[in-house]
Structure 1
Amino acid sequence: MASLPESTMDEILNRFASMEAEMASGPDHETYARLAADYSGLEDVVAAIRAYREAKVELSQAREMLEDPGADREMRDLASLEIDDLRERIDGLVHRIRLLLLPKDAADEKGVILEIRAGTGGSEAGLFAGDLMRMYQRYAELNRWKVEILTASEGEAGGYREVVASIKGVGVFSKLKFESGVHRVQRVPATESGGRIHTSAATVAVLPEAEDIDVEIRAEDIRIDTMRSSGAGGQHVNTTDSAVRITHLPTGIVVTSSEKSQHQNRARAMQVLRARLYDAERQRADDERSAARRSQVGSGDRSERIRTYNFPQGRVTDHRINLTLYKLDRVIEGEMGELVDALVADHQAALLASMGGEG
């Protein structure tokens, strides 16, 4: 049966009680807000620790009953059954507490900037990029997140050559951060008369949305150019000089936005630039902590083929965790929960293993 260091749990409970007392003492508004945030962050683990300790007391009592020579057979049988149930409950609580004590990713609660680009496969890759965008939009709807397309370049036959979107809500990055990488599709294109299966790809990048406090962008570090927008053709062509290109001089990162409003383009381009700079800083810090400690799922390598969508067989396979689901039609409609949960669980197991805990 699993166990936890009593000293660690004592420390958490003491810190929680100390916060409670300080909040009740009537501190100033700023101090109270900080304490309340920290207090809220400990509530789940404190509840789990209390439940764990209560279960341990009940287990001790059940064992006493089992070993009591004066107890009748029926009482000992009941105690034996209760011991089995309590052991199972305690193991579950230990696992939950370990998960709750894992290091938190500061970006997990943030919204994201989602970037999808058509890769190899010509017009079919553009259609697939469009399918991926719709999949994420529908998944966002199921989670009641807000999606806004920031900039898009349409493909020749539909879909997108490139699309950048903002997804806002609670915990968006925690759910979507494992989507970065190369997504591959295998299917028969509508234009294929011979019924041959084609393979094409699209790349996905998921960046945590950054606030001003996360990234400082100095005016002297950026160059802003305005350009004439180019659209898909016909009435879609925007003939004013409204497109904006922002170059971050220290890093060479270039962001463009070419919607109809120059003011809106500048704001959107800055939003994407801020996210890319924040992501680059996170990647650098992660590399410094040691690449060996990162799990494969959480590596964020955008050149890695992470998933295959095989339409003839109706399957989707995530290559990082060797998970295959034969429900491609539902996944592509946004029912990604099973995939996302499996990726999160694998990441948590890897973190537990790296800290010497059990997965």
Structure 2
Amino acid sequence: MIRSLRLLLIAPSQPVHTPALEYAGGLAQTLNSALHLVAFVHAAALDVVGHGHSVNLDNARNGMMDVYRQWLNSEAVLLREKGVEVQYEVIWGKPSAFELAAYAQNLKTDLIIKDLREEAHLKRLVLSSLDWDLLCASQTSVLYIKQAPAPRLRKILVAVDIELEGEARATENDQIISMARQLADACHASLHLITVYHCDSVGCKSIAAALSSAELPSYEARRNVFDALATEHGFAKEHRHFLVGAPANVIRSYIQRNTYDLLIIGSANHHLLSSTIGSTAEGILDNPVCNVLALKLPPASCNSYAQTQEGAQADGVSHQLQPELMAR
């Protein structure tokens, strides 16, 4: 039997049941995976539990942490009744993205699950500055939750990039699709494949120009690459979506026109000092239209130079969402 995944939920700043908590419990139950809940509590949240400034700081801190422990314990009890293996921890302090990434690594976590934050002036859910930093710093895949799950995952969309050719890109796409396929199979969901032929990459001014200009052979060549990739991984023709335009905008528009429960994208597995996650991933996450799983791939899949530089540190520090899911 292949080992199950280890899921980590970073609890919200207030002790309330959220879409991410609901999603984490359902996913852990579906995948027969262990779930770890962690709440980071800090002084700015004292008002949430009704403590005033005159209360002794230690008592206030301990009292607030007790509230979070009781809350997580009640959530854990409900999850255990559903057969989920759950542990929880309450930690005093406001962690940085680097500390959250290190915490996930120390737990040998395969997947971090986190709520998106509501931005009142934008009237939508967005990634906070901490979320962006975590995505850059973490070597662990991150699942950002916009909405609570349906009774079960029905449709998953996996995005790949075929603009850049070569063995490294092919390996990256193969790994993204393989991980997505096994997640979809475990959840009994249909899997769709999408890629976007980027007009700007060939200097065209419009979609019409892309389809009628001298760059048409390049369009056809990339369409052939996409179809070959889809065929290799067993995608039916109706589950293949080859679109034209600016990748992030096109993918968002496509999801808005069609109903998907989850979007899976690749995000390079960078060193903790890196601040790059990829322009398409960044564009999608800037305004996500559904729940998004950002897969962190092994350095070898993203950059052979990075692999050379980080090879000495590879053992024991690269726990990504594994391509092996629990045998069903």
**If the TM-score is normalised by the length of the shorter chain, which range does it land in?**
under 0.3
From the two aligned structures, give the one with the greater helix fraction.
1
**TM-score, normalised by the number of residues in structure 1:** 0.24
**TM-score, normalised by the number of residues in structure 2:** 0.26
Q: Per chain length, whose mean CA-contact separation is higher, i.e. which structure has more relative contact order (CA < 8 Å, sep 6+)?
A: 2
Bigger radius of gyration among the two: 1
